[in-house]
Amino acid sequence: MLPAKFYQTTYAADDVARLCQMAGLKPQDPEAFHQKLEDCAAVYRWETANYEEVVPAFSVKRELHSAQKRATALQKSLSELSDTARQELLRRVAYRQDRDAARHITGRREGGEASLLLPSGGSDDAILLGLPDIEGLIDILSDVLGAAISEVPKRPSGPVPDFGLYLWAANIRLLWEETTDAPFTRDATEENIPITPAALFCVEAFKPIEPSFPRSRVLHALKLCIQYKKITGTVAAKNVQ
């Protein structure tokens, strides 16, 4: 099953009846046919979301670079503190060490709370971090961010591919072939007006899913779907658990 968020009420019963009438379809179980149409729409949303949620590589690098700049700036600021300012900071770190140690001893430390006292081995053992340790961690963080920037994998930055639409067309073709012996064709005029029952059904059935998509885009997906079947045979929907 797909995650529930991809299931929406795409078609009313009247919509399904209208689609079947215009395409000459007579499903033996109209309710099951309706549900399969909804399943096709849900699979489309799921497949499309796989690409819509992908953040382009340049955006990821920009975020990491921004964090690294801040870490580097913090390193520089700490290294340039005057003796007086550093003593004040050390005094505050010592206060935090005492507080964290007391919470550790009394068991009042809440899970997930940041602490300068790190448990080590047994429950009574711990490592107390000081200002040099904190500065060292910031230095490590800066290095790790730099490494992450250089290793960000390439991600698509252009338009979302039509894999979702192609998969929808493939699943609709399977549903069509389960329902009728009529050929699944995508004939259309030069103005991309569908003229065969299957093409008309697909164009009209996809409108509630993506109203802004032009007919030509849907017809192109049908063309690829039909061509691919001629080469490879049946293309089943992805098995999603």
Q: State the pLDDT at residue 114.
A: 83
**From the CB of residue 112, how many other CB atoms can be counted at a distance below 10 Å?**
6
* CA atoms of 235 and 198, how far apart (whole Å): 17
Lowest-pLDDT range of 77-81, 95-99, 119-123: 119-123
169 closest CA partner among 131, 141, 210, 132: 210
Beta bridge partners of 194: 188
Residue type, 142: S
* CA atoms of 222 and 217, how far apart (whole Å): 9
Question: How confident is the model over 18-41, as a mean pLDDT?
Answer: 95
The SS3 assignment for 194 reads strand
Q: State the pLDDT at residue 116.
A: 87
Residue type, 58: F
Kindly report the pTM of this predicted structure. 0.57
> In whole numbers, what is the pLDDT of the chain averaged over residues?
87
At 111, list the tokens: 């899970």
Q: Evaluate if residue 165 carries a pLDDT over 60.
A: yes
Helices 163-179 and 30-52 cross at an angle (nearest 10°) of 170
Q: State the pLDDT at residue 203.
A: 97
Q: Evaluate if residue 43 carries a pLDDT over 90.
A: yes
- Rounded to a whole number, what is the distance in angstroms from the first to the last CA of the chain? 5
Q: What pLDDT, in 10s, does the model give residues 107-126?
A: 776 666 788 888 776 556 67
* Percentage, residues of the chain above pLDDT 70: 86
Lowest-pLDDT range of 143-157, 167-181, 194-208: 143-157
* CA atoms of 56 and 156, how far apart (whole Å): 6
pLDDT, greater one: 238 or 128: 128
